Amino acid sequence: MTSPAHSLPVPIPRWAYAVALVALVVTWLVLQENGIALGHAAETVHEFFHDGRHALGVPCH
Amino acid sequence: MSTDEGLTYKGLTYKGLLARGVGAGAVSGLLAGLVGVLVVEAPIRAALAVEQARPAEPGGGHEHGELFSRGTQVVGGVLAAVVVGVAVGALFATAYARSRRWFTTEAPFVRAVALSAAAFGAAAVLPAVKYPANPPGVGAADTVEYRTVLYLGLIAAGLLVAVGASALASRLGRWSPPVRATAVALAAVAAVVVLLVVFPATPDTVPSDVPGGLLWEFRLASLAETATLWLGLGVVFGLLVDPATRRAEASAV
C-alpha cells in the first residue's frame, strides 16, 4: 500500500502565475532578447550572455 | 497575513516548494555554468578562431567580443546558466506542485527526477535532435528570428507531448501498469516522431570552414551543460523536497 499523500496536489496561490511570468521574462531577456524590449541596450545583454546562449543551445548567429 | 497556512499540505506549502525550486535552480545553474567553463568553452574558443579567420563580411557581420573581453563573456556564460537555472527552478516548483498525475505513488525524490527528465527531454533533447546547438560562426544572422520561432515552437510542442502523456496515463488508469506504460511510451514516441517530421528543417547550412569534429564536440558539450541544468535541478530539488515531505508525514502520524 502506497501513501496517498503524494498524489495530493499542493494548492497554488494566484501570485504563483505572476512568479511564472517573471521567470519566463527573465529567461527571455537572458536567452532571446534581440532588441524588442531593451532596444539598443539589448546588444550589451546579448554580448554579455553570448557564451551562455550558445552553450545552452539557443539559436544564435 | 497570508492564507498559506490554511492551504498547508503536509507542511509543504507552495512557498516552501518555490524556495526549494529557486535554490535547486541556483545550484544546478552554477553546476551547469561550471560544465560550460570546463567543457563548452574549448569548442567555443575554437569556433571563434574559425570565425575570426574569415574575411570581414560586407555590410558588417555580427562581430563578437567587441563589447566584452573573452574573460567577461565566460563569466557571463556562467551567470546566464545561473539566472536561467533560478528562473527554470521557479517554473519547475510550480510544475511539481501542479503535477497530480506524475508517479503519484513514488517518493518525492523520484517524482522530481522524473519531472526534470521529462523537461530535459522536451526542452533540450528534442530541440537538439531537430535543431542542434551551433557554436559561434555557424548560424546566419538573417535567419535567426525564423530559427528562434522554430526552436521555441518545438520546445512548446515537446512540453505538450509530456503533458499529454501524463493525461493519457491517468486515462488508462485501469490498465495493468506494464501495458499502460508501454501504450503511453509508444504514444509519446509516435508524437515525437510526428513533430520531428512536421517541423521544417533548419534553413542554415554549416559553413564549409567549420570542421565537423568541432561542430559535434560543441553540440555534445552543449548537451552536457543542459543535462546538468535540468537533471541537476531534479536531483537537488528532490533532495530538498524528499526529507521535508517525510518529516511532515512523520509528524502527522
CA A57 to CA B109: how far, in whole Å?
27
Q: Does B199 touch chain A (CB under 8 A)?
A: no
Closest residue of A to B133, CA-based? A57
What radius of gyration, in Å, describes the C-alpha atoms of chain A? Answer: 18
Q: Give residue A32's domain range.
A: 14-56
The answer to whether B68 touches A51, Cβ cutoff 8 Å, is no
Asked if B9 lies within 8 A of A61 by C-beta distance, the reply is no
Asked if A34 lies within 8 A of B144 by C-beta distance, the reply is yes
The answer to whether B9 touches B245, Cβ cutoff 8 Å, is no
Is A23 a domain residue?
Answer: yes
Residues 6+ apart with CB under 8 A from B48: B64, B65, B70, B135, B136, B137
Asked if B98 lies within 8 A of A48 by C-beta distance, the reply is no
Q: Provide the pLDDT for residue A43.
A: 87
Number of domains in chain A: 1
CA B76 to CA B32: how far, in whole Å?
13
Asked if B249 lies within 8 A of A30 by C-beta distance, the reply is no
Closest residue of A to B107, CA-based? A6
Asked if B84 lies within 8 A of A56 by C-beta distance, the reply is yes
Is A26 a domain residue?
Answer: yes
Closest residue of B to A6, CA-based? B104
Q: Provide the pLDDT for residue B31.
A: 98
Is A4 a domain residue?
Answer: no
Closest residue of A to B149, CA-based? A59
Which residue ranges in chain B fall short of pLDDT 70? Answer: 1-11, 57-65, 252-253
Q: Which grid cell sits at B154? A: 518545438
ipTM of the assembly?
0.88
Q: Provide the pLDDT for residue A40.
A: 83
Quote the pTM value: 0.89
Between residues 82 and 111 of chain B, which touch chain A (CB distance below 8 Å)? 83-84, 86-88, 90-91, 94, 97-100, 104-108, 111
Q: Which grid cell sits at B115? A: 519531472
Among A1-10, A25-34, B44-53, whose mean pLDDT is lowest? A1-10
Q: pLDDT tens-digit profile of B194-235?
A: 999 999 999 999 999 999 999 999 999 999 999 999 999 999
Is A2 a domain residue?
Answer: no
Is A3 a domain residue?
Answer: no
pLDDT at A1 over 70: no
Interior/surface letters B164-183, b for 16+ CB within 10 angstroms, e for the rest: ebbebbeebeeeeeeebeee
Q: Provide the pLDDT for residue B184.
A: 96
Count chain A–chain B contacts defined by CB atoms under 8 A: 178
Where do the H-state alpha helices sit in chain B? 14-35, 41-52, 70-98, 108-120, 126-130, 144-171, 177-198, 212-252
Q: Provide the pLDDT for residue B7.
A: 37
Is A44 a domain residue?
Answer: yes
Residue ranges of domains in chain B: 15-52+70-246
Q: Provide the pLDDT for residue A8.
A: 60
Is A31 a domain residue?
Answer: yes
Q: Provide the pLDDT for residue B86.
A: 98
Q: Does B14 touch chain A (CB under 8 A)?
A: yes
Shortest distance, CA A38 to any CA of chain B (angstroms): 16
pLDDT at A5 over 50: no
Shortest distance, CA B126 to any CA of chain A (angstroms): 11
Q: Which grid cell sits at B9? A: 499540505
Q: Provide the pLDDT for residue B38.
A: 97
